A and B are shown apart, each in its own frame.
Chain A
Amino acid sequence: MNTLLNNSDLFITGFRNTLILFFFAGVFALILGTIVATLRVSPIPAMRAAATLYINVVRNTPLTLVLFFFALGYPKLGLVEIDFMTAATVGLSLYTATYVAEAVRSGINTVPVGQAEAARAIGLTFTQTLTVVILPQAFRAVIPPMFSVFIALLKNTTVAAGFSVAEAGAIRSNLSERGEPAMAGLLWVALIFVLIVFILSFAQRKLEKKWKVAR
């Protein structure tokens, strides 16, 4: 307990940065992932191929390597300088977007064919069919896998600690500089993560019940 109370400043900054990373990466991943999923089901072969390639390559690359590139490689390219926090957000978003895309696509597959046929029958275009009829139902159907994706994202933010982002995963190295026992600090970090994950799972069950599609 002492480790937590005496170093509450470290824990608060750490978890605040974790939540900031989680929030921004989550929002961007959701947007990008939905776009990629849309491309993957679009009638144009070039779009489908591009989305499939992106998903296959990024899903088979370790997140550590993605962040490695953004933290250490990107500054060598002489582009706009960005801080590690932004770089980590970009890396996490690009990585998580592929999982969001796969979740959304599996949701699109759960929507009955009749829904799309009915939408087309009343003259809706592909875009209208997708945005007005299919996606709203798909999103509701994929709440459980989507939450797994976001819980994974939350835990993945710790990887950014390996690349000098001062979030929850970095609390250990900061504590050891102050001569605090690493074990106590790490166990507190683990415990707080378990709590946040439980809150997320609780929210998932609530949403699932509330948004269930009656079929």
Chain B
Amino acid sequence: MSSVLFDAPGPKARARYRILGVVTALVIIAIVGFIVLRFAQSGQFDAKKWQLFTFPLVQQTIVQSVGATLSAFATAAVFSLVLGVVLAFGRLSDRKWISMPCYGFTELFRAVPLLILMMIFYYGLPQLGVQGITPFTAVVAGLVLYNGSVLAEVFRAGIESLPRGQSEAGYAIGLPKSAVMTNILLPQAVRSMLPVIISQLVVILKDTALGFIVTYNEILFQAKYFGSQAQYGSPIIPSAIIAGVLYVGMCLILAGIAKWLESRMRRNVKVVKVARSEIVAAEG
């Protein structure tokens, strides 16, 4: 660990570290203990509040809501990646009339809050006579526009960080620009950017939870519904705990894949290294 900041501890320092370690552990136990105690005292662990979640029908509904979250995530992820590649190519185009609109598009959709985008689709468009906007389309459309713009920047940074010799060699053997882009630059950019791309996918997964505000029937929406069941003592905190476990679990699986890929990449010397701090995606 970052031994840059401190020397290897001597006997005195080791004793001090031990005391401080115990103190830290006590403080954390106190905080967690307080929360658990408070939960227990206000009856959050009562069997009555958890009884609702023992019914097979309720469990099925939860599984369905996980499916709804995952289908919004998968659809949005695929289209965001496509839009990202298209926009990145657009911004790198030599023609001003292609690159300028793409620049404007990415900057604009990165600046508008995602929730407002979803609301524009869900509440705004039907008023203008657009038919058939379901909560699902609103959620996915918002996610695609926002994350597509973010991913476009990721792809562009990946392409621009490649050594110039790569594209020069492509031109030297007579390839047109489109072939240089798709056959030489993009595959390398995607590989060097894979960790960043996957952490952006985690952001998409998390942001599907915004769908609950535009009445998309996903995990959080169900959690609120179950939490409001008065005959089971309004188990809002138990259902928040369940939703939290589901989200953290799904995100950790994705993040785990990212970490695994990153460690594989690091061993592969052919992949160009890119400073990750250059691209800190704006998380939602």
Contact = CB atoms under 8 A, between A and B. Distances in A.
B128 A183 contact: yes
Given A47-B21, A64-B213, A183 B127 contact: yes
B24 interface: yes
A156 B115 CA distance: 8
Given A116-B4, A172-B123, A190-B112, A65 B42 contact: no
B223 interface: yes
Interface of B: 1-2, 4-7, 9, 13, 17, 20-22, 24-25, 28, 38-39, 41-42, 44, 108, 110-117, 119-120, 123-125, 127-128, 202, 206-210, 212-213, 220, 223-224, 227, 234, 236-237, 240, 243-244, 247-248, 251-252, 255, 277, 280-284
Interface string A35-79: 000000101111110100000110111111100110011001111
A110 B280 CA distance: 15
A157 B268 CA distance: 41
Nearest to B13: A43
B2 A197 contact: no
Contacts of B124: 182-183, 186-187
A47 B20 contact: yes
B212 A162 contact: yes
Given A62-B209, A155-B113, A50 B24 contact: yes
Given A44-B24, A64-B213, A158 B248 contact: no
Interface string A179-215: 0011100110110011001100000000000000000
Interface of A: 41, 43-48, 50, 56-57, 59-65, 68-69, 72-73, 76-79, 99, 103, 106, 108-110, 113, 116-117, 120, 126, 129-130, 134, 142, 144-145, 148-149, 151-152, 155-156, 158-159, 161-162, 169, 172, 176, 181-183, 186-187, 189-190, 193-194, 197-198
A60 B282 contact: no
A76 B127 CA distance: 38
A64 B240 CA distance: 11
Given A62-B207, A159-B210, A187-B124, A73 B237 contact: yes
Contacts of A162: 115, 210, 212-213
B280 A193 contact: no
Given A61-B244, A65-B240, A186 B123 contact: yes
Given A108-B2, A172-B123, A182-B124, A73 B236 contact: yes
Given A183-B124, A183-B125, 13 more contacts: A41-B2, A44-B17, A57-B248, A60-B202, A60-B252, A60-B255, A61-B244, A61-B247, A149-B282, A155-B114, A159-B213, A169-B119, A187-B124
Given A116-B5, A152-B284, A190 B120 contact: yes
20 contacts: A45-B21, A61-B244, A62-B208, A62-B220, A65-B243, A68-B240, A76-B236, A77-B44, A103-B280, A110-B277, A116-B4, A158-B113, A161-B115, A181-B127, A182-B127, A183-B120, A183-B124, A187-B124, A190-B116, A194-B108
Contacts of B240: 65, 68-69, 72-73
Given A46-B25, A60-B252, A145-B277, A169 B115 contact: yes
A60 B113 contact: no
Contact of B224 (A72, A78, A99, A110): A72
B123 A156 contact: no
In the A-B complex, the 7 residue pairs with the closest CB atoms: A62-B209, A183-B124, A60-B251, A162-B213, A145-B280, A155-B113, A197-B111
B120 A158 contact: no
B113 to A, nearest CB: 4
Contacts of B255: 60
B58 to A, nearest CB: 19
Interface centre among B9, B113, B284 (most CB of A within 10 A): B113
Contacts of B127: 181-183
B220 A158 contact: no
A57 B249 CA distance: 10
Contacts of A187: 120, 124
Given A65-B244, A73-B236, A44 B21 contact: yes
